Structure 1
Amino acid sequence: MSVEVLSTVLLAVALVHSFITPVFAQFSKKFKQGSGLEAFFHLLSEVEVVFGFWAIIFLTISSISYGAMPMLSYARSLQMTEPLFVFCIMILASSRPVVTIARSILLGLVKILCRLLPVDEKVIQVFVLLGVGPLLGSLITEPAAITILALLLYRMLDKVDEKLLYGVLALLFVNVSIGGGLTHFAAPPILIVAHKFGWSLKDVFVQIGEAVICTTLVNALVFCFIFKNKIKAQIQKLEPEHYPMPVWLTVTHLLFMTGIVLAAHQDIIFVGLFLAFIGLTTVTKKYQDGLKFREAFLVAFFLAGLIVFGSLQKWWVTPILQALTEKTLYFIATALTAVTDNAALTYLGSQVEGLTESSKWALVSGAITGGGLTILANAPNPAGFAILSEKFPDKSLNALKLFLAALVPTVIAIGFFMIFGNF
């Protein structure tokens, strides 16, 4: 068996594992609380751990079977900038000053809409968070946007039923995946190919901007219409932040975020900025909440696992992409994104020689369209679930329920990309 086939087999195993994490959560309860076995099986129920866990197994088996030096060379060839970036930006975005300013902006928009529309304020809050909020990802990056939105939604979701809970999570995933598509640097599947394809901010905005804006707003509108009664009865109203926050501290945090976003491709620079930011938080503890180190680490571990597997899937992805027409490529990319990280998918597509310009747009459009179908479909998804996981039974995600909840907003997205997509 070649190393490529082995990687694909273990990737498939990891995918199956991600769908049955609740089984591991239940199994962990058979052991004494605090015991090693209980901790081990509970760890395997964390969906963010799955791909990193199987990546370690893959590297171990490969080192034994094919030699340690070849696998060490392979590991050194992997580009881990994205996991590092997501780790840094997620922690920064979870800081109280950043969340406070984001909350103020979104609640300001809610007030304006409340004056204009005869609609319950909680319904408008949900619409703004899940419809307008994801579009902020085009400016501050998707990992930062989903972190902020999940933290705000966490305060609103208290004793809600499972159908509404999965509906919120699915819409958050779908809209964040698509909402970062207004710029060339915010959505991982666009960011990773923009340089090679020669795309600028203008190119991305002109080509898919209409579909992105229409999809996020209409998805949120449809969700609020379907769940309006449950939102009124079960969702907690989001209140303004009452803690005083010095203006200089908020500005400093935003400058750190801007610097890290602008240096997203330069890990030495953004890690240095991040370390300086951590230093700032240690002397401003009065104005800080607990930073999301654990959640950010799990997400980075998840992404690193996908990267270990990703580049070895070219043997089966490339022939598929080369044989497809533009529209077929769009639908196949949307479907493949459910089982392959969308950034990995577009990266593999960028290695295929002879792709037409319309095929490139079809590939990227499909990748962001399917980004909410599963937790592994889009890199920021684990960040959102890591924050909201306490609201779910056993802190575990049922992958099938997420997939079913994400189907309607994904179909709506397909409709708009069929209308406005240039492929």
Structure 2
Amino acid sequence: MNRIITLLLLSFCCSSFSQNIVADLKIQGNKKLKSSLVKKISNIKSGVALDSSVIEEDIRLLKLLPSVAHAYYQVFPTEVSSKFNVYYNVEENFTIIPSANIYTTNDDEFAYRLGLYEFNLFGQNMIFGGFYQKDIYSSYAVNFRAQNLFSRSLGLAMNYQNLTTREPVFFNRRTADYKYNNESFEVLGLYQINFSNRIEFGVNYFTEDYQYKSGATDPNVPQALVVRKMLYKLIYDYNALNYDYQSVDGFRSLLNFQYVHARDDSQLPGFLIGWNDFLYYKRFGKNGNWANRVRLGLATNNKTPFAPFSVDNNVNLRGVGNTIDRGTAAIVVNSEYRYTLYEKNWFVLQGNAFVDAGTWRNPGGNFSDFSDSKNLRVYPGLGLRFIHKKIYNAIFRIDYGIGVTPNATQGLVFGIGQYF
């Protein structure tokens, strides 16, 4: 009711006067989040014209911050004619958040990733944290991201990762297992074009180390390979999503384009890789939420056992297992219907039914590989979400996927946050 009254008052003021001016922007309800940051990223400032569309855009931006659970505004006249105070009211999230991803398959495979992140470092909307992963071998990473470090529009991200896994390598319909290590350091510039559009650009220095462990061999496939590489990255994000606690509505498109080349005399050719995630969410009534993701990926079609796109439990198909295939192009569709089964104060229990499906182009193959039944995989399943509404990304998910295509697996996938 207060929101409706505020909107009516603001509409009346804007229609009655041609020069309504903001006297001051005041921030209320925030404890850890700095008022100075909210003012820095807001378009409403002292002295600008009072505009309801600009205020609504600021509120949408605040709701996207990890530190903000909910935000709304109020407008009150001052004692000076045609001047108004604007109040942004903020309900904060708890932002020191553990992360966890755990999965199993019917091959008794078990792996996990545990992390801890602060999503509002120093009250400045900075993200800092890291993770430890056990997937046969140990791995770790440290991440820092400051979207508004230099201004409302300009920020910086830095990431260090030392990732070691057992990777299956596929050639001539045979498989070999390699110990794979990727040690990388990445620096990205972050630029917000406007509310819905942002870009990231930067470089990644990394070293890949493949060591043969078991399985098939081939004279043309090295059993040991160490390559130092450089990666140039460009990300373009169009985000028109609207959040209302656990419910999401709207469209988002996320493009990731990379060029990779060797930094030494290994003579390995450089290659291009890019993929675009199209996400669409629609609410149905108070409790229903339909969520969809379509990923289209394409890379230079080198005939190599180390192709960049993988079929993986925690990335694209729930229940499929850990990197069971690779390709140089991919089409993946994830669709699920989420339904709020119970909601009380801060707690939400949500159920979901999903279908994950994907197909790949074989390394050196043709686009006709997409229609090859050997490359097509479909995994329907069911899941539960345990959600804390006042802690950022505090969504504990459990999904069980069952493959319905030939030679399929099935298994549980645990994690923090929605799958997409």
- TM-score tier after normalising by the smaller chain length: under 0.3
TM-score (norm 1): 0.22
Larger radius of gyration, structure 1 or 2? 2
TM-score (norm 2): 0.22
Bigger fraction of residues in strand: 2
Greater RCO, 1 or 2 (C-alpha within 8 Å, sep 6+): 1
Bigger fraction of residues in helix: 1
